[in-house]
Amino acid sequence: MIITLDPMYPPHSIIALCKALFVHDKGVAIRVYQHSSVVMKNDLEFSPGDTYSHKAPVETCILFIWKLDQFQPKLVDNRGTNVVGEINILRHFGRLLESYRNPVLQYEKLGAEKSTYVDYWLDCAFVHFASNKRTSFLKEFVGKWNKNSERDLSIADLYLWSLIKQFNISQTLTLEAKDWFNMCVQLYQ
């Protein structure tokens, strides 16, 4: 599987899920490359030339290619299927991770009502961050999250955490949002 990532907008959520996939599946290997037109930033989680593999035979190889790609990451799997956008790639990996005995995150196995709720928050996050309504959206999201203390973190949390890192706004979060963000940092980094 090949994933192209733009270093100007690193999709931290995809990187975190690939790390989780690597930890849970000894048959996964990750290799990182850089397109020749890209000047790399030093603070990326996966650097060009990095290789992550276990001693077990490789069944799935994830190739990361850092490439200027207009914000949206792209995934091409071994069947030639194209998946475009951080949210859609998260959904794809969410399904893969659910197949493991102790999945890091659940998505569709949450049931129709809860997975639809996750989809709602994913779509809202994309729209509100694109339209500069970040503050009100974060307040609403974290407020709903705190009201439901039994709720596990989802790919919506992972995506929102990634957006906050991409837009470099973690220092402007409310205290309530910082608590949520710090919990995400502990789980995803």
pLDDT in tens, 126-179: 888 878 788 888 888 888 766 665 567 788 889 999 999 888 888 988 888 888
Provide the number of structural domains found in the chain: 2
Of 98, 125, 147, the domain-final residue: 98
Whether 7 and 93 map to the same domain: the answer is yes
- Is 139 inside any structural domain? yes
| Structure tokens belonging to residue 167 | 């837009």
Whether 93 and 112 map to the same domain: the answer is no
99-103, 114-118, 171-175: range with lowest mean pLDDT: 99-103
pLDDT in tens, 1-51: 999 998 888 899 998 888 877 877 788 888 888 888 787 666 566 666 677
Reported as type and span, the H/E element at residue 76 is: strand 74-76
| Strand, coil or helix: 143 | helix
Whether 75 and 31 map to the same domain: the answer is yes
- Is 77 inside any structural domain? yes
Whether 7 and 48 map to the same domain: the answer is yes
Whether 69 and 157 map to the same domain: the answer is no
Of 98, 117, 148, the domain-final residue: 98
Q: Which domain holds residue 156?
A: 108-188
Whether 6 and 54 map to the same domain: the answer is yes
Whether 83 and 127 map to the same domain: the answer is no
pLDDT in tens, 65-92: 988 877 789 999 888 889 999 999 999 8
Whether 93 and 31 map to the same domain: the answer is yes
Q: Residues with Cβ < 8 Å from 33, sequence gap 6 or more?
A: 48, 63, 64, 65, 66
Whether 50 and 88 map to the same domain: the answer is yes
Whether 94 and 122 map to the same domain: the answer is no
Whether 120 and 178 map to the same domain: the answer is yes
Q: Please give the pLDDT value at position 118.
A: 87
Reported as type and span, the H/E element at residue 64 is: strand 60-66
- Is 103 inside any structural domain? no
Cβ pair 118, 45 in contact under 8 A: no
